[in-house]
Structure formats: C-alpha cells, structure tokens
Chains A and B, each alone.
Chain A
Amino acid sequence: MKKIFLLSTIVCLFSCLTTSCIKMMQEANDAEEVRMITVSYKVNAVTGFVPYSGEAEPDPSFQTKGLEVNFINYQEGSSFTSVVGDNNIVTCSLTPGVYAISIGGSVTNDLGTYHLNGSSLNVPFTKDITPQDVASNPEYTINIRPAKVGSILFSEIYYCGVAPYYFRDQTYTLYNNGEEVFYLDGLCFAQLHPNIATTNLPSWPEEDGRDNYVYGLVVWQFPGSGTQYPLQPGEAVVIAQEAINHLVNNPDSYNNSMSDWECWAGNALRGNPDCPKMPYIFWWTPNSLQWLTSVFGAAFCIFRIDDAVVDTAYWQQEGHWQRVVGPSATRYAKIPADAVLDGVELLTSMSALNMKRIPGFVDAGGTSVETTYIGKSVSRKVIGQRANGTPIYQDTNNSTNDFQVNDTPAIRRDGQKIPAWSRANDL
C-alpha cells in the first residue's frame, strides 16, 4: 500500500512538472516571427476638458494636418517619422513594439501662435491598424493641446549635484525669450509628481479626465504686487535651493550666491540671510531641512492661473488638490493644463524616456545629464541673438530637442541680462 502511495505521489509530481513545462514550451512555440506592420492614428487638437475615455471633440481652430509625428521605440532605440495627412490621420510602417508617439509643430491663427505638441506614451503596436480601424475606434486617437508660444521659459537647470553627495547647489534659471516684458509677480514654480521618472506612474481619479492637469508636489510663488518684478526680453532670474558660495563646502561645486531667490524650506541653519526667500504656497508634507529635488531628475513647470487668486488658501480648497488612487492621503496641487507656461521633464537617463511622467503638452520630450553627482547642467540651445547680445533660445516644447548638457552650471549663461531689480547687480 505504501509503495502504491509513493508511486502515485511520484507520478503526480512528475505529471505536474511536465504539464507546466509543456505549457511554457507551448507558449514559446506559439510566438510568431516578427514582421513590419502599418499603423494609422488620428491626431486631434483639443482645447476643452478631455474625459477619461479620451473621446473629445477636436477644436476646428487648430488643424493638425502637416504636423510631424515621431514613433519612438525607446527599448530598441528605433524611430519612425511620418506626417499627419487627410482627416488628421497619420500612417506609418514600423516594427511591432511599445512606442511613444510624439507630435510637434506650431500653428498661427487668429488667436496667435501656438505650439501643437503632444505625446502619447507606452502605445503598444502589435498588428496593422488601418484608417478604417481608426474611424471606428476612438482608442486610436491622440489628443494634443495647443499651447500658446510663451516668453517665459526654463533656460537652465542644475539638479544632479556634485560628488560626494553634494546637492545644496541645485539652481534653476528662468528667462524671458519673448519680445515683451513679463512680470514675475505671482508666477508659480512647481515641482511635479512623481519626483523620479518611473514606469510605475501614479493613477489619478477618472474625474480628472485625461491630461487635463499636471500635479505638483511643491509650488513656490514669486512675490510681488503685479508689476514689481518685470523681466525684460533677454533677462533671466535665478532661483536656488541655497544661494551661497558652495565652493567653500565643495571645491567641485560652484558659486550661486548671487541668485535672486532662495527656495528656503525653513531650516534656520541653512540659507543665505541676504538672499530673499521665495515662499511655498503648497507642500503637503514639507521637509524643513531643505527643498531637495531628485538628483536623478525631477520634473518642473511654471504656471499662472489667470482667473483666480492663487495663494496658500487656494490650494486648500476642494477641487484644487488631488490624491492618487489608493490609500495614500498625500495631496498634490492640481494644476490646469492651460495654465502651464513651460515645463521640463528631467530623466535618470535618456533611455528612461519611456518613464516620462508629465504630459506631452508640458514637455513632449525629456532631458538628462545621464548620471548623478557629476556637476553637469542642462540648458537650452541658442538659435539666435538679439541686437543687445542676449540669446534667443530654441523652444519647441520638446526638451529632448531644445536642451543640451553642459559640463558645468553657469549663472546667466550665453549673455543673459540681469534684471534691474536683481540683487545680483550689487554683488
């Protein structure tokens, strides 16, 4: 009896092993040899609220025909380019894979000149998609948001720190790239969630729709009465985590003590008492030691909500903040898409572009110094110069194309001017 039981056990165990083994092999045998596929996609420009389903009426003021569309497979390093044709449909022949679809261009209409940039990440292409499929299935549609070509933009960000583990010298430069004066007063500067690029993107409630908002971890706000801090064309303003001569602490760092504002978190032992403190108006769980953004690369935007008084009280109101789906109680500032003036996605490395965390209308691409603590910065590429020698920067709303990596950070690079009110004039 014992022998029969033992034999039965052995036979059962062996059967289980071979059954799972055969299933694994059968799955492998089912795989087909890869071939090129042809896919079509619809590109719509939308201006209103886009529901979670993504089904939104295109705005007829903005035609997407003629826009260039890049299908980028970051895993393989491949890229295929096509142009939006009739009925706002783009068709491209590519290898099956997971793609980021990036659309770029600009359009001028009665309302002004607008960026028509957008991207859709992690789109799986496994089979042919015909224009007929596109017409019958809203799943094959990308909504892009027109963004007015603005004058204020990030011109340089130094975020990676320098060895060994020195990160207090993080610095951000905003620049007036336009032809008119821009008033910094009340402008908001946000660090977006998540702090580090990741494939594990947060899931937001369906009520927020799709790509209607970006979500801030921390929001700083420029002080001023409305016209107190003008930024003339060609002028730059510098904001630092800590505005001191960092060479004293680390000979491989640099001196940013002439920064215009410090993003001071409240640590009495840190900071430059002579440098004005920029107040934060949203920070759910403040870190009073310092405002440290990821040395791997965070994401930032500047925004201004025109029809509201944006202050600390604003972010406490229901509807102005959001939580990710799940048990976390952490609140994030809900920043409307149409309020964003510029944004930059900083990545761990350029190969992490598939981990982009902010929508394409904020930044259709991403930029990176590739590694941490190497003392490098990213800054915009110069494409021209004004008569007064100040630079004109590239601004296609795609930081992959617009930014370059510098071996060292600089304060007001490329001949940027100092605003008349800046404390840097006295230093």
Chain B
Amino acid sequence: MIKWIGCLALLISSGFAAKAQNPVTPASVDRLKMESLWIRHTNNVAGAILENPWHYALTDFEYQIEKGEFKRVQSGNDNNSFRFNTEGGGVYDALGGGYAWGEFHYDRSVLRGAKYNASLADPLRGMPFIIADPNPSKWINQNYSMQVKLATPLIWNQLILGVGATYENGIAAKQVDPRPKVLLSELSVNPSVIWTKGKHAIGADFVYLSHREDGSASNTNYRVPQMGWEILYPGYFMEGEISSFGSITGLRNFNANGLGGGLQYGYKAQQFRIVAGGEFRQTTEDVTNSYTTPKRIGTTNKKEWTGMAGAQFLFNDGNSLFADYTYYNRSIDGIEYIQIYNSEYESQEWIVYGKYIKSNYSTVNHNVGLQFMIAENDRRDFSWQFGVNATTEKLSDIYYLPESTQEIHNVLMKAYVKKNFVFGKRSNLLLTLEGFLNKNTDAEHKYGGYYEGNMAYTQFALVDFYYLSSSYNGFTLDANYTVTNIDRKNTMSLYVAASFNYVNPTSYKDYFDKRSTLVMKIGLAF
C-alpha cells in the first residue's frame, strides 16, 4: 500500500514536472508558494486553477539533530530524524489545463528522554485521555504521509471542481516498559468547488477526516512492576500498575471522525489580489481500552473555527507586498463517562449511565504578517524577502469539578530576511535569517485537584504549564546552495541546505535549558 502511494506521489510530483522549461530552485518554489494565495491560505484545492501555478518538483533527503530541554516533557530532549520528502505538481497542458499536485513524506524519528506518554505517536495532538508513565523513554517513530490535489480546468468558463486527499500511516514504538507499539492511520478527503466571474471568485470546500490509532502498553520485564497514570486532564488521573492484571490495562484505541467545510471569496485585479474565507471543522474522537469489551475512557469533541485573509499588492517593478491575517479558535471538550461493567454471563459489557463535559481546552490565536518581496521580472525566484509576523495566543484550560484552571497569554514576534545570491547562470545561495521573541504577557494556574504532591502533577502538568507560559527568544539561520542545469536537458537542479535553530528560554530557567536544532538536506529540483 505504502509503496503504491509512494509511487503515485512520485509520479505526480516528478513525472509531469520534468517538462518544466526553466530550471527550478528552492527559491523559485518559495516564491511560487508565496504568490499562490488560494493554496497558501485556504483548503480549497480548486483555487489552484486561479493561481495558474507552473509545475515543479522537489525531492530531498533530510537529517535532523535536535538537542535541549526546552521542550514539552513528552517530546524528548535528544532527538534525531531522517526524512525523505518529495512534492510537486502544477497546471498541465497534458491534463487539458487541469491541476495536479502531490507530496510524499517518509519520516523516521528517534526520540530520547520522552516521558509521560505510553499511548500516542504524537502526544501533543490535543488528546488528553492517555496512559502516562514516568520512565524517560526512547521512541522510534516511522511515518508515511501523502497528499494529492487535483482540480479541473475552468468548466463553462466559470466553474472549477477540485478534490484533495491525504493519507498517513505510522508506527511508533516505545523502547522502555511499559512499551506500546502504536499504529495509526489517517485519511481525509477534501472536495471543493469555485465559481468565478470576472475578477471575483467564490469557493466552498468540504472535508471528511478519519483517524485511527491504537497501541497497548505492555511490559517485557515482569519483574519490575510499572506504575502509571490514566490521565483525564493534567493533574487529574487514576494511578495504578500498568499490566494485564493491574488496575490500568495498557490498551488505548483511538477512533476519530471529522467533518468540516469552508467558504472563500477571492478578488483579482491587475495589481491587487485578495483571498478571504472562513472554515469550521468538528472532530470527535472516542477512546476505549478494549477491542472486545470496550470501556469508554473518554471522548474529545474538537471544534475549530478559522478566519483568514491574504492579499498581494503587485508593484510595477515586479516587487510585491503581502499581507495576511489568520484567526484560529479551537475548543476541545473532554467528555467523561459514568459506566459500570455488567458481569452477567449473558451480556458482559460496560453500560454507560451518563456522560458529562468535564474539561475544556481552548486556544485562540490571531496572526498578522507582512512580507515584502523584491524580484526581477525575468526570473522565477526573488532576490530579497523581508517579513514580520506577530501572533497572539490565548490558552484557556479548565477542569470543571473540582475546578482547576489554566490561562496563558503569549505574544510571538518574528522578523526575517531572505537573500538570494545568484552566482552566474548555474548557481545560487539562498540565505535566511529569522529572529523571534516570545513574550508571555499573562499566566495563571489554579489547581483544585486531589493530587497536588503527585509527580504526575508536579513533574508533568505543572512543568507543561511552565513550558507553555515561557518567554523565549532565538534565531534560525538557513543556507541553501543550488546548482542548476545539472542534466543534459538543463531542467534539473541539485541543492544542499543546512538550517540551524536556537531557542533560549528567558523564564523558568530552573526547569529549562536552551534548545537547538540542526537540519541538513540534499535534494533535487526539476
């Protein structure tokens, strides 16, 4: 299955792209993505036709080394990743002017020192109902993901139909008892439509998502009992021994379904383009602890609202100013069940007597960005980019009874500059320097639970609060050197890149040290 998916993605991303007339470089793809407002700001695949993007393909291998303790406790503090990425596509004459784009990623990560997770491949994805254990653990995670976007050419000169699909398949294995082998798969389908008339376009899209994930935390060394927690909310849990005979059975089976959709509006004039829209998505995820006699551990009901607008001001000299704004509101209700096991011989099952929303996790973000791009008219890439970006984030979590609350306000500011040095006709160096500063403006944590002295509160819930409410600063330095026209047809480029990211916390220094990440990459563009 995975091989088939990989082949399909490669076919889409590279097969057609080979017909591109001019050399493709990471800098030119960067510019292409920057200027594709519908693709960048919406989930409406049909919008790609309005952008009329030229076709490209990038294929690269990437190795990442990440060290440092300024991370959430579940993420590990000494991690390595190997990745293979390929993406590409565009509008093709061979498809009658239709749009095809695809990407495929393979990721193998090794996490070390990860704690308080014995259930999920990604413990930070907004699912609180997990089993947690205190053992610093190594995880080996392997993930395959692909995405395909297809859109028709303009039908009757005013209608475009599109469809997007993603498929992800992963395995994550904890290497220390209690050790689950977590298997996950995710599928989403995203049909869309656009009606366009003159300079105006109105779009709508719909999305269906299915996520399955399961794993059973078991022990290979039965001589050492493993204690853990069945987490309901940070600081609220049931403590016990994780084993088949223990009070915590290690299996967790996650089953999520999501539905959503959005509406978009676009306007395109000679020197001004804008795309605006709004989206809503509801994702409900059930968590059970058995395949045969499932007990409902909990349900999350996630509702996400997104509003956005992105504009491009084109100047006569080929330069552009981009402005964008995104509003994001996420609310996750944590639903717990009142249930009793019916041990009658004829009907052994868990009977649900009631269900209540016992917790809520809320995130509200506002993001404003401005970017200025200096480009030469006869080139696909750019020579300079300057950008500033500001994000305000408000996190509000509550457990209703007995009440605990957590409120965090952060402001994250970023500024970057990109310079594309062109050396003759065959090579260029893209340098990026970004600085960022996160300022925590307010943070309050009130705990009303029963386990104030328990390490699952002091070392997990509380430390997580410290991380989320930390102020920090840092920078990213990225260098990408590309040699073009390396093949006989002069369509292929080879690039090597290195990126260094450094983050320095300026608060809670007793808990966190710096974090640095180095990424090295080699790839082909065509």
The residues of B that contact A199 with a CB separation of less than 8 Å are 341, 343
Binary B-proximity of A360-373 (CB < 8 A = 1, otherwise 0): 00000000001111
A112 within 8 Å of B by Cβ? no
A310 within 8 Å of B by Cβ? no
| Inter-subunit contact B259/A25 (CB<8 Å) | yes
Binary A-proximity of B260-302 (CB < 8 A = 1, otherwise 0): 0000000000000000000000101010000000000001010
Chain B nearest CB: distance from A154 CB in Å?
A: 23
| Inter-subunit contact B238/A33 (CB<8 Å) | no
B338 within 8 Å of A by Cβ? yes
Count of interface residues, chain A, beta-carbon cutoff 8 Å: 55
Task: Give CA–CA (A75, B449) in the complex, Å.
Answer: 13
Can you name the residue of chain A whose Cβ is closest to the Cβ of B340?
Answer: A122
Chain A nearest CB: distance from B305 CB in Å?
A: 15
The residues of B that contact A125 with a CB separation of less than 8 Å are 338
Task: Give CA–CA (A78, B450) in the complex, Å.
Answer: 7
Which residues of A (362-386) have their CB < 8 Å from a CB of B?
370-374
Can you name the residue of chain B whose Cβ is closest to the Cβ of A200?
Answer: B343
A31 within 8 Å of B by Cβ? yes
| Inter-subunit contact B225/A76 (CB<8 Å) | no
A171 within 8 Å of B by Cβ? no
Chain B nearest CB: distance from A136 CB in Å?
A: 20
Interface residues on B, range: 35 or more
| Inter-subunit contact A76/B450 (CB<8 Å) | yes
The residues of A that contact B358 with a CB separation of less than 8 Å are 34
| Inter-subunit contact A33/B357 (CB<8 Å) | yes
Task: Give CA–CA (A157, B236) in the complex, Å.
Answer: 32
Other-chain residue from B238, B338, B345 in contact with A325 (beta carbon distance below 8 A):
B345
A349 within 8 Å of B by Cβ? yes
| Inter-subunit contact B246/A348 (CB<8 Å) | yes
Task: Give CA–CA (A312, B384) in the complex, Å.
Answer: 96
**Which of B94-102, B347-355, B466-474, B511-519 binds A?**
B347-355
Task: Give CA–CA (A36, B400) in the complex, Å.
Answer: 10
Can you name the residue of chain A whose Cβ is closest to the Cβ of B449?
Answer: A77
| Inter-subunit contact A98/B247 (CB<8 Å) | no
B208 within 8 Å of A by Cβ? yes
| Inter-subunit contact B335/A31 (CB<8 Å) | yes
The residues of A that contact B339 with a CB separation of less than 8 Å are 98, 124
A132 within 8 Å of B by Cβ? no
| Inter-subunit contact A25/B223 (CB<8 Å) | no
Chain B nearest CB: distance from A292 CB in Å?
A: 14
B314 within 8 Å of A by Cβ? no
Can you name the residue of chain A whose Cβ is closest to the Cβ of B187?
Answer: A17
| Inter-subunit contact B345/A324 (CB<8 Å) | yes
> Which B residues form the contact surface with A (CB < 8 A)?
208, 210, 223, 225, 227, 232, 236, 238-241, 245-247, 257-259, 282, 284, 286, 299, 301, 333, 335, 338-341, 343-345, 348, 353-358, 400-402, 449-451
Other A-B contacts than A21-B258, A25-B282, A31-B355, 20 sampled, CB-CB below 8 A, are A20-B257, A28-B284, A28-B299, A29-B301, A36-B401, A96-B354, A96-B356, A124-B338, A127-B354, A196-B245, A199-B343, A200-B348, A201-B343, A349-B241, A349-B246, A351-B239, A351-B247, A352-B247, A371-B225, A371-B241
4 A-B pairs with least C-beta separation: A126-B354, A371-B225, A34-B356, A28-B301
